[in-house]
Amino acid sequence: MGWLVALRMTAAEEVLSLTGLAMLLIAAWGGDKTARMLTWVGVAALALAAWLTLPALVNGAMGPGANAFFGQYAADSFAAYAKLLLYLATAASLLVAPAFFGRAGAYRAEYPLLLLFAAVGMGLMVAATNLLTLYIGLELNSLAAYVLAASARDDQRSAEAGLKYFVLGALASGILLFGMSLTYGFTGTASFAGIRAVLHSGVLPMGALFGMTFMLVGLAFKISAVPFHMWTPDVYEGAPTPVTMFFASAPKVAALALTMRVALFAFGGQGHGWQPIVVFAALASIVVGALGAIGQGNIKRLLAYSSINNVGFILIGLATGTPGGAAAMLVYLAIYVVMTIGGFVAVLMLCDAQGRQIEAIADITGLSRTQPLLAGALAMVMFSLAGIPPLFGFWGKFVVFQAAVAAGMVPLAALGIAASVIGAFYYLKVVKVMYFDDPVGKVVGRADAMHWLLLGLAVLALSPLGYLATTWLDGYAVVAAKALFRAA
């Protein structure tokens, strides 16, 4: 395989990296006044990257033909599916930023280019078929994310969020690296295909078991699965809302896709080893995410717990260990990204007369009377997150539980779905506050047209019309999942 072929396969990353570097230079010389222009450049670069990625998904690229750079990088349909999702989420995070930061004062030029570098890192994460690619991608994404979390320099909570995220993220990276070194030591290879071949069957050696467990712990931190979720509410609350929206969507997709590739492919022969861990993390995330959210008075913290809760449902798909489960996770991820974008865009449209972000749930009381459209959209997102049909959020839960039942894990499915009722309680609370209580009239600021556009698109996708896309979505998810199971 020649270099040229490999370079063509990684074209999306190259476009994003080169654009990012160029943007860095423009920002260094042009200053913050170039920020708006850079945003659009970033969106264009992401669109181009998506266009370059699309063929791999449509053609169902998989197997050895999709490997670049000697098996370190897979340009298969699984990676393509995940990349399209995370490019979408990144682009949405870019588009909401100018109006949001413009309200508060300065919109800095670092924001778009950090997002672009994070996108490169995430692209590497989902395409990684080697422990080193995995780590490079993860760190590239994380370093950008630490800076983003602290990007509101005059806000103490943002600084706190950045510091917490950095310290705990570094710890998780260390744990992951430790697991990787153990795995490498006991299998003698860093490539996923090699690990799969060595550990294909038989008893897992003690060292490799530790390696696998530590790797899963490190990844569980990145996807904020219980019990490694502690940082999530604080970081989500402290970071500026567009950054929170980014954290809740794109890196989650990337880390979950990475976890899928590690668990289902690299350790695919040792399912009985990691399945109990994933089952526990799934149920614990659902329950803790739901219970934790009940007492929250801040809507960003509430959404943070909601994302923990959602990760739990996604992990049920992983716990099955089947291609059907993997496809269900991918469908759920797509719907989750749309719900997250819809939810956070609605939240960042809540502002007072001075354009300051309103975060307290008590302050959106009676919103349905003062801003019926916004309240309606937020209510739809909430019902969707709760998984109530006919909204599209139901479909994500549906496919995941369908996969679990098909894999014979009926008790897991029954427990998971019963716990989802706890979650419905706090989503209802937001609707109750907006619809049943008398208005306090704090949300008076006018929202930007771009915000309305994104919110409108998200709500349209979450409406029952979304079901018309199920055939199409399921088709691609199945192809992507198939690629995952025969990546070598």
Partner 1 sequence: MNGFPILSAMLAVPLLVSIACLFVSARGARWLALGATLVDFALGVVLWSHFQIGAPGLPAAQWQFTERLPLFAGFQWALGIDGIALVLIALTVFLMPICIGASWNAIEKRVPEYMAAFLFMETLMIGVFAAQDLFLFYIFFEAGLIPMYLIIGVWGGKDRIYASYKFFLYTLLGSVLMLIAMLWMANAAGTTDVPTLMAYNFPVAAQKWLWLAFFASFAVKMPMWPVHTWLPDAHVQAPTAGSVILAGVLLKMGGYGFIRFSLPMFPEASAAFAPLIFGLSMVAVVYTSLVALVQHDMKKLIAYSSVAHMGIVTIGLFAFNRQGLEGAVVVMLSHGLVAGALFLCVGIIYDRLHTREIDRYGGLAINMPHYALLFLLFTMASVGLPGTSGFVGEFLAMIGVYQLSSWVALVCGTGIILGAAYMLYLYRRVVFGGQVNPDAAAMPDLDARELAMLGALAAVVLWMGVHPETFIAPIHADIATLDARLAQARPEGDAHLRAGGPIMPALTARITEGPTGEGPSGEGPSGEGRTR
In the complex, minimum distance from the CB of residue 131 to partner 1, in angstroms, rounded to a whole number: 35
In the complex, minimum distance from the CB of residue 325 to partner 1, in angstroms, rounded to a whole number: 13
Among 81, 111, 221, 383, binds partner 1 (CB under 8 A): 383
Nearer to partner 1, 360 or 414 (CB): 414
Nearer to partner 1, 31 or 464 (CB): 464
CA distance 351 to 370: 13
Nearer to partner 1, 6 or 424 (CB): 424
In the complex, minimum distance from the CB of residue 315 to partner 1, in angstroms, rounded to a whole number: 17
In the complex, minimum distance from the CB of residue 60 to partner 1, in angstroms, rounded to a whole number: 17
In the complex, minimum distance from the CB of residue 224 to partner 1, in angstroms, rounded to a whole number: 24
* Residue 468 within binding range of partner 1, rule CB under 8 A: yes
Nearer to partner 1, 99 or 413 (CB): 413
In the complex, minimum distance from the CB of residue 295 to partner 1, in angstroms, rounded to a whole number: 16
Residues 394-433 that bind partner 1 (CB under 8 A): 394, 398-399, 401-402, 405-406, 410, 413-414, 417-418, 420-421, 424-425, 428, 431-432
* Residue 388 within binding range of partner 1, rule CB under 8 A: yes
Among 203, 362, 475, 486, binds partner 1 (CB under 8 A): 475
Nearer to partner 1, 162 or 416 (CB): 416
Residue span 8-27 as binding mask against partner 1, x where in contact by CB under 8 A, dash where not: --------------------
Nearer to partner 1, 435 or 452 (CB): 435
Among 102, 269, 389, 439, binds partner 1 (CB under 8 A): 389
Residues 357-376 that bind partner 1 (CB under 8 A): 368-369, 372
Site of interaction with partner 1 (CB under 8 A): 368-369, 372, 383, 388-390, 394, 398-399, 401-402, 405-406, 410, 413-414, 417-418, 420-421, 424-425, 428, 431-432, 435-436, 467-468, 470-471, 473-475
